[in-house]
Amino acid sequence: MTPLLEVEDLVVEMRRHRAAFHAVDGVSFALERGGALAIVGESGCGKSITLRAIMGLLPNRGRLSSGRVVVDGVTLPAEARGRGRGHRQHRRMSIVFQDALSALNPVATVGNQIAEAPRYVLGFGRSAARARAIELLRLVGIPDPERRYHAYPHELSGGTRQRVMIAIALSSEPAILLCDEPTTALDVTIQTQILALLAELRSERGLSLVFVTHDLGVVSQVAERVAVMYTGRFVETGPTAEVLAAPRHPYTSGLLAAALDVDSPEHEPVVIPGSLPDPLQLTGGCSFHPRCGFATAECLTTDVRLQLVGPNHAAACLHSDVLAALQAAGHHG
């Protein structure tokens, strides 16, 4: 069965102050029908840009310099940005942004924004589009949808706005939902509700999901596969349970150690030393090596790529065996 979404060697070039760098440096993954992939990484690793590149919504400073996006076997044209978002395969994907307040048109009612795609893209009539919008409002769990239809985005609470964003994403009847940190700006209780909504949409409507987040705690609730991203590349990919239980890249293991503080009070807070490198100053070799406890001379010179370390599990590290051995012996990385 061909995967619904295939991304091959995506490279996105960004310009900043007259210098250019690769914000996304060769990212590949495949998404099955009804499947879900979580992309995890710190701010600035390129995960949001990846989603935007797939949707053809890169900002002016960015350019898809190479790579392919294939939806249901059809390769998407590279320069869809700005020109034709009307490509039929593009319409099978929708995106949900992090900040719903800035992602919603402030001068249009919420209902009209949800009805817009049915009316102008899917060809619904005016009242049919309106009915559809109300239906979608109800679907995403907004009570009193007929009344809420006429509200403006700034009149709603953060959680409601995010639901509206999801309703808009659903309005073009996509098969794939790309979510760019949709719960980051929300309270924990609301976060749980939104994640439950997404799970419901997956199970009842067979939506496929790509979920970008920096929050490891959310990953296991959302997706059965996870990819860990660092400086524009995937450094580890695999089944969520396996990656979280037995990470095979020092960065993943570092993230986990930092995230597990609350649950294990006897552990000292673990901080990954150093900070994200400036992409304009990357030298050769593994980009994580300045902060890595396992780094050797080899790491400075070899261009490390993802290698299989398990049936479905890959890591881009020369020393993933060392890491595995340490874990087996009962230590953290």
Partner 1 sequence: MSRATAPALGLKEAEHEVTRRPSVRSRALHSPTFMAGATLTTTIVALVLLAPLIGRYSPVSQDLLHTLAGPSAAHWLGTDELGRDIWSRLLYAGRTDLQVGVLAVLFPFCFGVFIGTVCGYFGGGIDTVVMRIVDIVLAFPFYVLIIALVFVVGVGTHGIYIAFGLTDWVIYARTTRSATLVARSLDWVAAAEGGGLSRKRVLWRHILPNTITQAIVYAMSDIVLVILAVVTLGYLGLGIQPPAPDWGSMISDGQNFIQTNQWLAAIPGMAVVLTGIGLSLLGDGLADILRPE
Partner 2 sequence: MSSRAELGDKEPTTGPGDGLAAGLRPSERAAPFARRILTSPGLRYVIRRTLLSVPVVLGVIVVTFLLLRLIPGDPARTLLGLHAPPAAVAALRRQLGLDEPIWRQFWKYLYGLAHGNLGTSIEYQGPVASLIPPCLELTGSLVLVATFFAVVITVPLAALAAMRQDRPADHAVRLFSLMGLGMPSFWFGIILIVLLSVDVHLFPVGGYGTSFWAHLHSLLLPGLCAAIGIVPVLIRSLRVGMLEVLSADYVATARAKGLRPSRVTFVHVARNALIPTVTLLGINIAYLIGGTVVIERVFALNGLGNLMLNAIDFRDFPVVQGVTLIYALGVIVVILLTDLATARLDPRIRLK
Residues near partner 2 (CB under 8 A) are: 52, 55, 57, 59-60, 82-83, 85-86, 90-91, 94-95, 97, 99, 102-109, 116-117, 120-121, 141-143, 146-152, 154-160, 163, 165, 168-169, 171-172, 189-190, 193, 196-197
Asked if 48 touches partner 1 (CB under 8 A), the answer is yes
197 binds, among partner 2, partner 1, none (CB under 5 to 8 A by kind): partner 2
Secondary structure class of 140 (helix, strand, coil): coil
Least CB distance to partner 1 at residue 43 (A):
5
Nearer to partner 2, 84 or 274 (CB): 84
Quote the CA–CA distance of 120 and 206 in Å, as a whole number: 25
Q: Are 174 and 91 in contact (CB under 8 A)?
A: yes
Asked if 127 touches partner 1 (CB under 8 A), the answer is no
Chain CA centroid to CA 50, Å = 8
12 binds, among partner 1, partner 2, none (CB under 5 to 8 A by kind): none
**Cα(first)–Cα(last) distance of the chain, in Å?**
38
Residues between 5 and 24 that touch partner 1 (CB under 8 A): 16, 23
- What is the arrangement of strands in the sheet containing 307-308, beginning at the earlier edge strand? 93-96, 176-180, 208-213, 36-40, 225-230, 233-239, 314-315, 307-308
Which secondary-structure segment (H or E) carries 113? helix 110-120
Quote the CA–CA distance of 153 and 194 in Å, as a whole number: 18
Nearer to partner 2, 130 or 233 (CB): 130
46 binds, among partner 1, partner 2, none (CB under 5 to 8 A by kind): partner 1
Nearer to partner 1, 229 or 318 (CB): 229
Quote the CA–CA distance of 176 and 89 in Å, as a whole number: 11
43 binds, among partner 1, partner 2, none (CB under 5 to 8 A by kind): partner 1
DSSP state of 90: G
Of the residues 206, 217, 273, 293, which one makes contact with partner 1 according to CB under 8 A: 217
Least CB distance to partner 2 at residue 222 (A):
17
Nearer to partner 2, 9 or 155 (CB): 155
158 binds, among partner 1, partner 2, none (CB under 5 to 8 A by kind): partner 2
184 φ/ψ sector (left φ>0, alpha ψ -120 to 50, else beta): alpha
Give φ, ψ of 210 to 5 degrees: -120, 120
DSSP state of 217: H
Whose tokens are 């929300």? That residue is 186
Residues that bind partner 1 (CB under 8 A): 16, 23, 43-46, 48-49, 59, 98-99, 102, 181, 184-185, 188, 214-217, 255, 258-262, 269, 271, 275-281
